[in-house]
């Protein structure tokens, strides 16, 4: 028999009880976390959002409550009336460990089926099961902490930006294609058959229009949608801190974001100093082989192509060779070296060349190709000391206008940094990456494409090269990087219509195409657009890093799988023929002959 909640009022959170609450009469409500029946005494760990409290049911003192407690099972929902007592022997493992509650009355508010996994700090259930039963998974203390931290992060962002004079303004979810260059999620219009809204990949155009509207400082914690290829650290819908300012110097945008990040990190007790360092894009690639370098450790790259040059033909390598020094790895076993080789191949290397530097001398399979003098020179050039292993690699594939060896070596650097425990996990290393090229070469499209998006400003001196030598144009874009992750990117924008039109042309859009896609924006630009710029940061990623989690899914209440599915709500799902009819849509037969959308709703 279930009891009604009636007029019963909760007095405390279970997890908030402390020794100072001793002798108080309390009413607690929550879920049965665990039950131990010792006959005379029944112990219940009662769980709510704040944590766990121990409840004791004593057969002799309160027989009625004790009798009811015999029926309790995991995840039953109960209310307990009782008195807080100091425990004779405390439990230092839990925050409420100094006290327990002697139950006088028990109200059974609801029962529960046996859950598919125990609601514990760590679960062993597969991620698929966890996501299918997300409501149970979210009951875990760890998830509660993550969700609460995320709330605090967002709140701190809002407070900081409000103090800096930014207005939070919402922009449409049902809109048209935006320029981030991913695939759109489309929403068919019922009223206008054959026409579609696109869910925004970002509020980019709207926030620029807000600057044209004189809003001066805008921000939004906003959901963005990109139908991109599946990758472990991506969600089809994700949350950005999106921001735009009028009349800004680059430094003004950096200042605002640095203040936000400083205050957000203070939430987990981390002090970061400002200003963040700035590194030029080319420099960061050359030194770390990545435009999102993990600056928590050194191990910088050395271009050693010259030393390898005489053996180019015998070693069959193309392009450049980069080397890093792995401190203390001269003792690595055959197996470790094989694993390194496997990893390097998966990272796009033709193979790795390793050189052991020991007090006895230098040894390497390369000796027959390069000779011992070259190996000595190599060790000198890269600054290897006895005990170190030099790891060098060339890229398997060459890409026009791109030094692929840098990217390969950058990944090897990260692999070695992890394996050798060189990454100081207590560090929070921010950097602004600037000086990007405006365009990048798209190997698949065989043409120049925007390195960021087509509204990114162009360094004034390079304007005259826009038509003649686009690859030499520098952009006014920047990225914010933290511990090897790109937190986000932004730019000072193009604010002149004539330049924007030239930009579209440089990207190969005809006037007609530009008008068709962005005509309203080109028009808006002609009505007095102030110089403006902004940035967008990934809120999910920030929350993930601060929570110390490895997956974005751990900091999103209802995430999607890497296959873009919501396993709990079972989305995406077919819709009924009547709904499709209303939208004027028919579904093409798939190869298997079964139409998606055939099922009845």
In the bound state with ligand ASP, the residue whose beta carbon lies nearer, of 97 and 477, is 477
In the bound state with ligand ASP, the residue whose beta carbon lies nearer, of 147 and 481, is 481
Q: How far is the CB of 524 from ligand ASP (least distance, A)?
A: 17
Q: How far is the CB of 295 from ligand ASP (least distance, A)?
A: 22
In the bound state with ligand ASP, the residue whose beta carbon lies nearer, of 94 and 173, is 173
Task: Give the residues across from 321 on adjacent strands.
Answer: 394
421: left (phi over 0), alpha (psi -120 to 50) or beta: left
Q: How far is the CB of 265 from ligand ASP (least distance, A)?
A: 21
Q: How far is the CB of 133 from ligand ASP (least distance, A)?
A: 33
Phi, psi of 355 (to 5 degrees): -130, 120
In the bound state with ligand ASP, the residue whose beta carbon lies nearer, of 350 and 493, is 493
Q: Could you give the angle at the alpha carbon of 120 between the alpha carbons of 116 and 126, nearest 5°? A: 50
In angstroms, rounded to a whole number, what is the distance separating the alpha carbons of residues 221 and 536?
10
In the bound state with ligand ASP, the residue whose beta carbon lies nearer, of 96 and 489, is 489
Do residues 410 and 377 lie in contact, with contact meaning Cβ atoms separated by under 8 Å?
Answer: no
In angstroms, rounded to a whole number, what is the distance separating the alpha carbons of residues 402 and 404?
6
Q: How far is the CB of 225 from ligand ASP (least distance, A)?
A: 11
Do residues 243 and 257 lie in contact, with contact meaning Cβ atoms separated by under 8 Å?
Answer: yes
DSSP string, 29-88: EEEEEEEEE-SSEEEEEEEETTEEEEEEEETTT-HHHHHHHTT--TT-EEEEEEEEEE-S
Q: How far is the CB of 455 from ligand ASP (least distance, A)?
A: 7
In angstroms, rounded to a whole number, what is the distance separating the alpha carbons of residues 1 and 220?
49
In the bound state with ligand ASP, the residue whose beta carbon lies nearer, of 490 and 559, is 490
In the bound state with ligand ASP, the residue whose beta carbon lies nearer, of 180 and 566, is 180
Q: How far is the CB of 201 from ligand ASP (least distance, A)?
A: 7
Task: Give the residues across from 353 on adjacent strands.
Answer: 392
In the bound state with ligand ASP, the residue whose beta carbon lies nearer, of 483 and 489, is 489
- The DSSP element (H or E) to which 324 belongs, if any, is strand 321-326
DSSP assigned state of 340: H
Q: List all residues 6 or more positions away from 543 whose beta carbon is below 8 Å from its beta carbon.
A: 146, 149, 150, 153, 555
In angstroms, rounded to a whole number, what is the distance separating the alpha carbons of residues 370 and 351?
16
In the bound state with ligand ASP, the residue whose beta carbon lies nearer, of 236 and 319, is 236
Look-up: residue for tokens 């003098």? 373
In the bound state with ligand ASP, the residue whose beta carbon lies nearer, of 56 and 257, is 257
Per the structure block, which two tokens stand in for 114? 């046996």
Q: How far is the CB of 257 from ligand ASP (least distance, A)?
A: 11
CB atoms within 10 A of CB 383: 11
Provide the binding-site residues for ligand ASP, judged by CB under 6 A.
Answer: 180, 202, 204, 489-491, 534-536
Q: How far is the CB of 493 from ligand ASP (least distance, A)?
A: 8
In angstroms, rounded to a whole number, what is the distance separating the alpha carbons of residues 581 and 186?
17
In the bound state with ligand ASP, the residue whose beta carbon lies nearer, of 54 and 491, is 491
Per the structure block, which two tokens stand in for 214? 């004189």
451: left (phi over 0), alpha (psi -120 to 50) or beta: alpha
Per the structure block, which two tokens stand in for 171? 């922009």
CB atoms within 10 A of CB 479: 21
In angstroms, rounded to a whole number, what is the distance separating the alpha carbons of residues 69 and 56?
10
Q: How far is the CB of 202 from ligand ASP (least distance, A)?
A: 4
Do residues 475 and 438 lie in contact, with contact meaning Cβ atoms separated by under 8 Å?
Answer: yes
Q: How far is the CB of 453 from ligand ASP (least distance, A)?
A: 6
DSSP assigned state of 543: H
Q: How far is the CB of 454 from ligand ASP (least distance, A)?
A: 11
Closest CA to 198 of 220, 213, 223, 178: 178
In the bound state with ligand ASP, the residue whose beta carbon lies nearer, of 32 and 261, is 261
């Amino acid at each position: 028999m279930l009891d009604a909640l009636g007029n019963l009022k909760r007095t405390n959170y279970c997890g908030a009880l402390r020794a100072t609450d001793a002798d108080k009469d309390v009413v607690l409500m929550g879920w049965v976390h665990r039950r131990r029946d010792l006959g005379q005494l029944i112990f219940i760990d009662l769980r709510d959002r704040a944590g766990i409290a121990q409840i004791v049911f004593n057969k002799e003192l309160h027989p009625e409550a004790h009798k009811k407690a015999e029926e309790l099972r995991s995840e039953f929902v109960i209310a307990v009336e009782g008195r807080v007592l100091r425990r004779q022997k405390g439990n230092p493992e839990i925050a409420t460990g100094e006290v327990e509650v002697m139950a006088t009355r028990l109200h059974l508010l609801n029962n529960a089926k046996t859950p598919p996994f125990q609601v514990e700090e760590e679960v062993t259930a597969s991620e698929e099961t966890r996501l299918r039963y997300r409501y149970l998974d979210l009951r875990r203390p760890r998830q509660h902490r993550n969700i609460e931290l995320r709330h605090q992060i967002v709140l701190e962002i809002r407070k900081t930006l409000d103090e800096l004079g930014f207005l939070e303004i919402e922009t449409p979810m049902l809109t048209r294609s935006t320029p981030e260059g991913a695939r759109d999620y489309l929403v068919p219009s019922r009223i206008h058959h054959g026409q579609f809204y696109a869910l925004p990949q970002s509020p980019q155009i709207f926030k620029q229009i807000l600057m044209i509207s004189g809003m001066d400082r805008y921000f939004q914690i906003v959901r963005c949608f990109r139908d991109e290829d599946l990758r472990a650290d991506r969600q089809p819908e994700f949350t950005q801190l999106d921001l735009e300012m009028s009349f800004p110097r680059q430094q003004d945008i950096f200042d605002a974001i640095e203040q936000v990040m400083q205050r957000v990190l203070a939430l987990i007790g981390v002090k970061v100093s400002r200003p963040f360092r700035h590194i030029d894009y080319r420099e960061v690639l050359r030194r770390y082989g990545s435009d999102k370098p993990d600056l928590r450790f050194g191990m910088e790259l050395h271009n050693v192509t010259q030393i390898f040059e005489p053996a180019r033909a015998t070693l069959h390598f193309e392009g450049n060779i980069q080397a890093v020094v792995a401190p203390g790895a001269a003792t690595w076993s055959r197996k470790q070296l094989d694993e390194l080789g496997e990893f390097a191949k998966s990272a796009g290397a033709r193979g790795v060349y390793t050189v052991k530097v020991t007090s006895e001398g230098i040894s390497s399979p390369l000796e027959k190709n390069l000779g011992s003098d070259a190996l000595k020179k190599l060790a000198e050039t890269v600054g290897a000391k006895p005990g170190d292993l030099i790891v060098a690699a060339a890229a398997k594939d060459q890409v026009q206008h791109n030094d692929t060896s840098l990217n390969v070596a950058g990944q090897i650097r990260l692999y070695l940094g992890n394996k050798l425990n060189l990454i100081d996990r207590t560090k929070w290393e921010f950097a602004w990456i600037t000086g990007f090229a405006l365009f990048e070469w798209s190997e698949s499209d065989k043409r120049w494409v925007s390195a960021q998006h087509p509204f990114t400003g162009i360094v004034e001196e390079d304007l005259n090269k826009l038509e003649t030598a686009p690859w030499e144009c520098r952009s006014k874009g920047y990225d914010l990087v933290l511990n090897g992750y790109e937190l986000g990117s932004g730019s000072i924008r193009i604010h002149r219509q004539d330049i924007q039109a030239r930009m579209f042309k440089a990207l190969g859009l005809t006037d007609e195409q530009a008008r068709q896609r962005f005509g309203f924006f080109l028009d808006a630009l002609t009505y007095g657009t102030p110089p403006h710029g902004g940035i967008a940061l990934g809120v999910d990623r920030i929350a993930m890093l601060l929570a110390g989690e490895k997956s974005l899914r751990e900091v999103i209440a209802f995430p999607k799988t890497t296959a873009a599915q919501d396993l709990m709500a079972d989305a995406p799902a077919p819709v009924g023929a009547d709904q499709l009819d209303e939208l004027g849509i028919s579904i093409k037969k798939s190869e298997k002959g079964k139409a998606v959308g055939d099922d009845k709703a």
